[in-house]
């Protein structure tokens, strides 16, 4: 299977995916688009974000699973490694943007592998925290250098200012999605 995509440049010099453009143009349709092509640009941008997200996740998965830990578990280990005390399952879920059930499964796996453990919350006897173990810290330390090299390769050719803009754009998308989700929860299901 050929995983290499060929991208082209538009008249302004910006990269685009011709296959995504064709698919998104067909999906957006002329009747539903505004005069300046904004709908198509939004659909293409969404497809490009998904493509970039998949590229980052494939790289992370390749690096982490070769070390016996899923990409989701790596996120938790990194969060636990910088925590002065343990972190609740709920806090981990909110920080990672996943369900508490998902985090529980990841913590179970990390605990089984000796990389994290559950401990009582000194501030709330009813609560349990997850914390990193010495073996987990060693794992994170061993993963740091290959991760730095992978990120350097992935973001090759990006100026520091571009990385800041990319971060800002991605987080603006996430903030818009959060606002939309809150609005949809507020108005309830539509029939």
pLDDT tens digits along 31-40: 445 555 668 8
Bridge partners of residue 93, in order along the sequence: none
Closest CA to 66 of 148, 146, 134, 137: 146
pLDDT tens-digit series, residues 40-81: 888 999 999 998 988 888 777 766 656 678 888 888 999 999
Tell me what the mean pLDDT of segment 96-106 comes to: 90
- Which pLDDT value is given to residue 32? 44
Q: How many CB atoms lie within 10 A of CB 188?
A: 7
Contacts of 73 (CB under 8 A, 6+ apart): 64, 106, 109, 110, 115
Q: What was the pLDDT predicted at 145? A: 87
Q: Would you say the C-alpha torsion 33, 34, 37, 40 has a positive or negative sign?
A: negative
Instruction: Return d(Cα 49, Cα 169) in angstroms, integer.
Output: 10
- Average pLDDT of the chain? 87
pLDDT at 169 over 90: yes
The number of angstroms, rounded, from the C-alpha of 17 to the middle of its chain's C-alpha atoms is 21
Mean pLDDT of 103-124: 93
Report residue 135's pLDDT band, with 50, 70 and 90 as the boundaries: very high
């Amino acid at each position: 299977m050929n995983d290499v995509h060929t991208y082209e440049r538009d008249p302004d010099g910006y990269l685009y995916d011709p296959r995504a453009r064709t698919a998104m143009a067909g999906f957006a349709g002329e009747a539903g688009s505004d005069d300046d092509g904004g709908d198509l640009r939004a659909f293409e941008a969404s497809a490009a974000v998904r493509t970039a997200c998949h590229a980052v996740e494939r790289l992370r998965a390749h690096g982490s699973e070769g070390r016996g830990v899923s990409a989701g578990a790596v996120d938790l280990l990194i969060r636990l490694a910088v925590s002065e005390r343990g972190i609740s399952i709920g806090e981990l879920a909110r920080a990672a943007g996943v369900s508490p059930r998902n985090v529980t499964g990841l913590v179970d796996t990390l605990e089984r592998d000796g990389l994290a453990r559950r401990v009582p919350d000194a501030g709330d006897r009813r609560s349990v925290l997850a914390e990193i173990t010495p073996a987990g810290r060693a794992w994170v330390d061993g993963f740091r250098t290959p991760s730095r090299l992978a990120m350097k390769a992935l973001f090759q050719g990006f100026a520091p200012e571009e990385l800041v803009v990319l971060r800002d754009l991605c987080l603006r998308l996430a903030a818009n999605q959060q606002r939309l989700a809150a609005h949809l929860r507020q108005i309830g299901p539509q029939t």
